[in-house]
Structure 1
Amino acid sequence: MPPQLLPASAAAFAPRATSVNVVLSSKVEPWLTQTLKRINRIKRPLNSVPQHQRCLTETLSSSTAIWTLTSIMLPKAPDAELRKDSNPLIEALFNYQLIHIEAYIVHVDMVLRNEVAFKLTPDSIESLIEYHKDIHCVDISANTYAWSEKELQVKKLHEEFIQAINKFVYRTHVSALEGLEEDGAGELLCGKSEEVKANIMGLFLPLLPPPPRIVDVVRPPPLLPSSPAGANWWSQSTLPSNVPAPVDSWRVIPSSPSTTSSADSNSLWASMGLNEIQLPSPTPSYSQPYSTSGLFYSSPQVSAPIPSLPLPSMLAAQQCGVSVGYGGFGQNWDRYQEYATTM
């Protein structure tokens, strides 16, 4: 895309130049020739490109070469001061005014971009600045809630509008020169005035207040398994202090009977109470049922003969684990042969 070149007179707050910058191509369009012949009171020769350029430059550089870009209907006072009437025609007459937005041409380019650039006149700029300060800023301030920096934001918004309206340059196609009239004045055709109106009204920005603060709700921290507050929920039940740790029978009683082991085991199991014993769980599948009557073991109820009897060492280890609290092991070991014959 070719660069957008503008003269120094198009900058913000720059005064109007004494001469308009006009650049024509090597071939002049027929419509431009007809337009220049129509507006010139004195017949001037237009047979070459330099003649067209000189005629157009002199015409647009005249102090009377003021174009009317658009007309905007604006209120005369803030909303709170407007007159209220049942007749809408009376309200329009007393409450609104028509401001004509005027501009002059600062640049004509028929080589790179085929455009013409307009800059607003100082009178139009001053009218728009007064409306923005006295009416627009008052309305937007009244329609928003108050906060600490509200007046500062309104002032800043007005300063930004002053800069924007002074920088405003309207660019359009060079065919807009067909609306050229005598003495260099003119008017935009083909609905271009509505485009200018939309661009200018877009510079009247609303006042945006800061969003309301969101109050953070303080919530208690979640109870996790590792937190002290939830320790009672997850702690497992512990054994009472008076219950000793379980003791494996094979670590206390040897697998084979002997005189020393029988005596020691007899005194050991007699000194322990019933509530201090920890039975193995689950019970081995080959344990024999017992009966509490008479402290004697009953024979197992089977429907088929037992193929083989357990060894004495195995029987002794099993009975030591289940007969605690019901008598010494030595008293029952002497009657082992009697038990074996009844089985």
Structure 2
Amino acid sequence: MPPQLLPASAAAFAPRASSVNVVLGSKVEPWLTQTLKRINRVKRPLNSVPQHQRCLTETLSSPNAIWTLASLMLPKAPDSELRKDSNPLIEAIFNFQLIHLEAYIVHVDMVLRSEVAFKLTPDTIEALTEYHKDIHCVNAKANTYDWSEKDQQCKKLHETFVQAINKFVYRTHVSALEGLEEDGVGELLTGKSEEVKNNVMALIKPLLPPPPRVVDVVRQPPLLPSSPANPNMWSQPTTPSSMPGPVDSWRVLPSSPSVTSTSVDSSNSIWASIGMGEVQLPSPPPAYSQPYSTAGLFYESPLVSAPLPHLPLPSMFAPQCGVGVGYGSFGWDRYQEYTTTM
């Protein structure tokens, strides 16, 4: 693909050149000869390529050589200031304006790319710039929600449009020169105006607000198997009907058949064989409290209870005092002798 060569006058903010850059091939197309003969009031010789090039350059370099590329119907004021009327024709007259996209030719190439390049006039650029600032930006700010950098973003949007509209250059095939009229004015033919309109409107960008921030959703951690499913279970304890009641450990059957345990009757017989006088309790007696039993929740081997032996009495540990034991020289075994002599 050959490089796209444009003159310095096609750059952004560059003034219009006094002469148009025209490059013709070694052979002139017949339609170009007929077009130049039609627009020239004074008959000029067109017998060679240099004559065609000189005639075309002088015609396109005229200050009056302004082309109308397209026309845009745009609102005159922001949406909040538009006039409301029952007659749509009156609304169109008072609320809309027609902006003609006028341009001049900066480059004609019939050798490499067979194209002609147009650049918008300063008046057209100024009209589009005012519309973008006073109407489009105002509507964009009114139709979007507020955020901290909204004004800076809108200002940046307008600056971007100013740069883009000044750099805008429309290129099309050289056959567009068939729409050339007297004094170098012209109009695009074969539906090219719609293409220009779409290209210019594509430069008017919408004001895009920043995307909403992603809010972290705080999720409740999953309940562990040991965690209660109901937070009110501790305040309102309920005992399931299927839960067995507490059972004394000595009533539970042993888990091993080799271990024997006493029944209730044998236990009662053990305590019945012990007299109340033979049991000595400490003074003062300790407070009786029933220990907490989890026998109803867990199954474990009970303690083996064996018959308790008879508790020894204090008399078993005292010395054996019989009637033969004396006190000093007086003996209880000779009690009868003393009583007879006296």
Fold shared, TM-score > 0.5 on shorter chain: yes
Q: Which amino acid aligns with 1:25?
A: G
Which ranges of structure 1 fall in alignment gaps of 5 or more residues? 224-228, 234-273, 280-324, 326-343
User: C-alpha distance in 2, partners of 1:164/1:21?
Assistant: 23
SS in 2 for 1:275: coil
Counterpart residue number, 1:84: 84
Tell me the alpha carbon deviations over residues 115-173 of structure 1, each in whole angstroms, 9 at most, x when there is no partner: 00000000000000000000000001100111111111100000000000000000111
1:275 is matched with which residue: 254, 268, 271?
254
User: C-alpha distance in 2, partners of 1:149/1:69?
Assistant: 37
Q: Report the CA distance between 1:206 and its aligned residue.
A: 0.6
Counterpart residue number, 1:192: 192
Q: Which amino acid aligns with 1:85?
A: D
Counterpart residue number, 2:62: 62
Q: Report the CA distance between 1:222 and its aligned residue.
A: 4.4
Look at both structures and tell me which one has the larger radius of gyration over its CA atoms.
2
- TM norm structure 1: 0.66
User: C-alpha distance in 2, partners of 1:66/1:94?
Assistant: 28
Q: Report the CA distance between 1:275 and its aligned residue.
A: 3.4
Counterpart residue number, 2:122: 122
SS in 2 for 1:119: strand
2:177 corresponds to 1:177: yes
Structure 1: 4+ residue segments shifted above 6 A: none
Q: Report the CA distance between 1:175 and its aligned residue.
A: 0.4
Q: Which amino acid aligns with 1:100?
A: H
Counterpart residue number, 1:269: none
User: C-alpha distance in 1, partners of 2:119/2:227?
Assistant: 81
Tell me the alpha carbon deviations over residues 253-310 of structure 1, each in whole angstroms, 9 at most, x when there is no partner: xxxxxxxxxxxxxxxxxxxxx837499xxxxxxxxxxxxxxxxxxxxxxxxxxxxxxx
Q: Report the CA distance between 1:214 and its aligned residue.
A: 2.6
Q: Which amino acid aligns with 1:51?
A: Q
2:217 corresponds to 1:217: yes
Counterpart residue number, 2:75: 75
Counterpart residue number, 1:32: 32
* Count of equivalent residues: 237
Alignment CA distance shift 1:172-1:232 (3 Å)? closer
Q: Which amino acid aligns with 2:212?
A: P
> Which segment is superposed worse, 208-217 or 105-114?
208-217
2:140 corresponds to 1:140: yes
Q: Which amino acid aligns with 1:169?
A: V
SS in 1 for 2:108: strand
Tell me the alpha carbon deviations over residues 223-243 of structure 1, each in whole angstroms, 9 at most, x when there is no partner: 6xxxxx55789xxxxxxxxxx
SS in 1 for 2:102: strand
Q: Report the CA distance between 1:102 and its aligned residue.
A: 0.4
User: C-alpha distance in 2, partners of 1:82/1:215?
Assistant: 40
How do 1:170-319 residues align onto structure 2 when only pairs under 5 Å count? 170-222=170-222, 275=254, 277=256
Q: Which amino acid aligns with 1:103?
A: A
User: C-alpha distance in 2, partners of 1:199/1:25?
Assistant: 30
Q: Report the CA distance between 1:101 and its aligned residue.
A: 1.0
Q: Report the CA distance between 1:35 and its aligned residue.
A: 0.4
User: C-alpha distance in 2, partners of 1:77/1:142?
Assistant: 13
Counterpart residue number, 1:46: 46
Counterpart residue number, 2:13: 13
SS in 1 for 2:254: helix
Q: Which amino acid aligns with 2:80?
A: A
SS in 2 for 1:92: helix
Tell me the alpha carbon deviations over residues 195-250 of structure 1, each in whole angstroms, 9 at most, x when there is no partner: 11111111111111112223211114446xxxxx55789xxxxxxxxxxxxxxxxx
Q: Report the CA distance between 1:21 and its aligned residue.
A: 0.7
SS in 2 for 1:205: coil
Q: Which amino acid aligns with 1:147?
A: W
User: C-alpha distance in 2, partners of 1:200/1:99?
Assistant: 12
User: C-alpha distance in 2, partners of 1:155/1:22?
Assistant: 39
Q: Which amino acid aligns with 2:18?
A: T
Counterpart residue number, 1:2: 2
Q: Which amino acid aligns with 2:254?
A: N
User: How large is the Cα RMSD of the aligned pairs?
Assistant: 2.0
SS in 1 for 2:26: coil
| Identical positions, percent | 81
Q: Which amino acid aligns with 2:54?
A: R
Q: Which amino acid aligns with 1:28?
A: V
